[in-house]
């Protein structure tokens, strides 16, 4: 069974940092590009970042460029999102999702909540 | 402001047909990139409903269908049921980034 388990969310003050993790199982993680997609409370879906299977290609939304860093460890079947200089508008549920930037996202984890507030 | 434009809300009575539009531009839908659709029930993660403009994943009822023309795409739901009440999102690709529509809330009257 395919499983994606996000963790690392929590409450952080503006300007602070947080590192999200996503543990993947049930599929060949190293063969798939991976993404982070977020959803602010009561708002729509927003793509955050994508990383190719070998980490050769990395893309970011303009809203997080320069502040967030996506990475992966294929040996550990894990995806990460290092979030620095956090702002109130980064408050959202963060989902890790397999797929390329043109692909449909057919598998979603349960998400992890990040709250940026003083 | 989303790159892909969806109506904020649509509604219909049980049994009726509703459509949700997703309007893009020449750099995304109009450039030939696929459109995908998601259904999100309250408090749950999104679920893939349509991929590659008009294909249904296994388990999705054939009451749901997708189409694409020019710079727009549409999701049609026939035989509306109470359990279809949810938020719906379209997704495509534009200049190295994934783009989503702003979402449409479907209310079953």
Asked if residue A16 has pLDDT above 90, the reply is yes
Determine contact: A61 vs chain B, CB below 8 A. Answer: yes
* pLDDT at residue number B76: 98
Q: What is the mean pLDDT of chain A?
A: 97
Nearest chain B alpha carbon to A108:
B45
Contacts of B36 in chain A (CB under 8 A): 104-105
Contacts of A61 in chain B (CB under 8 A): 97
* pLDDT at residue number B2: 87
Chain A nearest CA to B53, separation (Å): 10
Neighbours of B8 (CB within 10 A): 8
What Rg, from alpha-carbon coordinates, does chain B have? 13
Mutate to test the interface with B, among A35, A40, A44, A58 (most CBs of B within 10 A): A44
* pLDDT at residue number B31: 95
Mutate to test the interface with A, among B98, B101, B105 (most CBs of A within 10 A): B98
SS3 A58: strand
Contacts of B2 in chain A (CB under 8 A): 44
User: CB A45 to CB B103 under 8 A?
Assistant: yes
Q: Is A99 left (phi over 0), alpha (psi -120 to 50) or beta?
A: left
Dump pLDDT digits (tens) for B72-108.
999 999 999 999 999 999 999 999 899 999 999 999 9
Dump pLDDT digits (tens) for A51-79.
999 999 999 999 999 999 999 999 999 99
* pLDDT at residue number A71: 98
């Amino acid at each position: 069974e395919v499983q994606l388990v996000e963790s690392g969310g929590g409450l952080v003050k503006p300007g602070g940092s947080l590192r999200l993790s996503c543990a993947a199982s049930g599929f060949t993680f190293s063969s798939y590009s991976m993404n982070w997609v977020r959803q602010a409370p009561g708002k729509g879906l927003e793509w955050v970042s994508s990383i190719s299977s070998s980490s050769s290609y990395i893309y970011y939304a303009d809203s997080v460029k320069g502040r967030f860093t996506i990475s992966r460890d294929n040996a550990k079947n894990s995806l990460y999102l290092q979030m620095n200089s956090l702002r109130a508008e980064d408050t959202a549920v963060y989902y890790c999702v397999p797929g390329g930037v043109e692909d449909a996202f057919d598998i979603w984890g349960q998400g992890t909540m990040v709250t940026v507030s003083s | 402001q989303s790159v892909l434009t969806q109506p904020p809300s649509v509604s219909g009575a049980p049994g009726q047909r509703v459509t949700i539009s997703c309007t893009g531009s020449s750099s995304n839908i109009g450039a030939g990139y696929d459109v995908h659709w998601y259904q999100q029930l309250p408090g749950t993660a999104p679920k893939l409903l349509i991929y590659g403009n008009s294909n249904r994943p296994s388990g999705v009822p054939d009451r749901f269908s997708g189409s694409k023309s020019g710079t727009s795409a549409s999701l049609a739901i026939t035989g509306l049921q109470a359990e279809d009440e949810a938020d719906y999102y379209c997704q495509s690709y534009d200049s190295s980034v994934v783009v989503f529509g702003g979402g449409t809330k479907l209310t079953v009257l």
